[in-house]
Chain A
Amino acid sequence: MRGTFSIQVQLLALLYLFLYAPIAYVIYVSFQKDSVWPFPPDFTLEHYADLLHLRDFHAALVNSLTIGIGTGLLSALLATIAAIGVLRYASRWRGLVAAAYLAPLFIAHLLIGIASLMFNKQLLGLPGNIGSAILANTTYATAFAFLVVLAQLAKHDWRLDEAAMVFGAPPLRAFWSVTLPLIWPSVLGAVIVSFLLAFNNLEVTFYQVGARPTLPTLAWGELRHGVSEELYALASLINAAIFLFLGALYVLLRTGALRLDYRD
């Protein structure tokens, strides 16, 4: 039995290596003069300097942030109220409602992308823009946000809300002053997850934004023209930002500065 255990540990270690080594390597290469065979190391910051001159880089960053924030807020809002409904009201319809919210997880992104493209252009006569990118990304992001909120709120004690209402608080007031202060970390989690998914999305966004650059479409274009060094700088910056952010979040949770489970 010890044997099986150590094999499992090795498999897990190998999985982490498989998942993180490429990311770590890109960050390493982004600081190297020679990106093809960067050994022995020869550090430089010039790829980051080049990145600043990369055409469309700033516009892409702004567009990606806009899509990310718009999707993050909209998805979290839709997902949170639905998750509260599903958890709180034991109607026989709740399985069906949950299934509808989770259905987008089972649709390929490419299909969501082209379907939105054709629907907007043919039926609504709208050319793609950042707004339609937010709407298209919100479809699948809501599913992820719903999962996040559902998992976090499964243990929420709804009697607190009932109590507020028994003492005369109107439902909206009860939500605002009792429910939300308790569940906001879960809502924030949903915002973060859907923000990141939309911020980094290529296959859905690509078909909505037309010629407007986003960071993923910019990276896609760069990748098509062969290996380019500023792309590594770009990838490293985004990866570093995400992991620093997730790391900070984890530290805050561990130290208790931020709490996910209010009953701890």
Chain B
Amino acid sequence: MDVRTRRLLFLAAPGLAFLFVFLFLPLVSVVVYSFWRTASYEMIAEWNVDNYVTLLTEGTYLTFLWRSLVMATVVTAVSVVYAWPVAYLIAKHGGRYKLILVLLTAAPFLTGEILRITALQQILGPIGVINMGLTSFGIAPVEALMYSSTATGIGLSYLWMPFMVLAVYLSLLNFDFELMEVAKVNGARPLRAFIEIAWPLNRAGTAIGCVLVFIPTLGSSVTSQFLGGPNGALYGNILAHQFGATGTWALGSAMGVVLFGLSALLIALVVRVVGDFRRSGLTMSGR
């Protein structure tokens, strides 16, 4: 081992050890417990695959998983479509205000999930300002905003869109906008220049943004709990339920393994498709 590697590992060791003990081992224990069973709130070490059989055969779990997958896909897609023009604008025309403009999109993230949902409920809910406003003018309230999947979708976009803006922005910082001009000089229309130059050169950054939006959305529970209403429960709600009232930790663990497996699968897929992350702006190799 050369001296640089030894020094690097020396400095990184405390954090790596920390993550190993407090993140990796707990995640491994989830896998282990998913093969146990629970009886009256106690975990019993009897190895079995019943939890997975339950997940696959009782339709409800798959239904909720499917719902979460659709929700995560839609929220991610909406985020990409919205974040791209915004990030492009800031990166290209932001000038000396670039940093503050992009940080303004990220700042609300720091106020935390629960406060942001509190705020959204006050806007979207049945007694939220939009519907109260409509009713006070004698207009019928918008059903879609009250305790619905649409409200959950709006809430999740609200929570995670900043990640997409940041990821695309970071990627565009390493992008040479002159290339777009060159394309246009050579006769490409804006859309064509975007499809053939801007998009492919920034797809690694966009892919990272997609993963950063998709994964928390897939595992979300609080947003749908407060904005989704009685019929708006997602996979995360059912998962959290196993650790709350029902106390079926083993089944909950299996649900966690499925969630983690899907996330890992997505990351593997993205790495496979994108391949080279050097242009994403998240690595130090830049351009």
Contact = CB atoms under 8 A, between A and B. Distances in A.
B15 A81 contact: yes
B26 A115 contact: yes
For chain B, what secondary structure do more than half of its interface residues adopt (helix, strand, loop), or is it mixed?
helix
Nearest to A15: B86
B12 interface: yes
Interface string A167-204: 00000000000000000000000000100110111110
Nearest to A29: B122
A154 interface: yes
A12 to B, nearest CB: 5
A200 B118 CA distance: 13
A250 B100 contact: yes
A103 to B, nearest CB: 8
A241 B13 CA distance: 36
Contact of A106 (B108, B215, B284): B215
B22 A136 contact: yes
Interface residues of B, number: 85
Nearest to A36: B127
Interface of A: 1, 4-5, 7-9, 11-12, 15-16, 18-23, 25-26, 29, 36-37, 77-79, 81-82, 84-95, 97-98, 100-112, 114-119, 122-123, 135-136, 138-139, 142, 146, 150, 154, 193, 196-197, 199-203, 207, 216, 219-220, 223, 227, 231-232, 235, 238-239, 242-243, 246, 250
Interface of B: 2, 4-5, 7-12, 14-16, 18-19, 22-23, 25-27, 29-30, 33, 43, 82, 85-86, 88-90, 93, 100-101, 104-105, 107-108, 110-123, 125, 127, 129, 132, 136, 158, 161-162, 165, 190, 211-212, 215-216, 218-222, 226, 236, 239-240, 243, 249, 252-253, 256, 259-260, 263, 267, 282-284
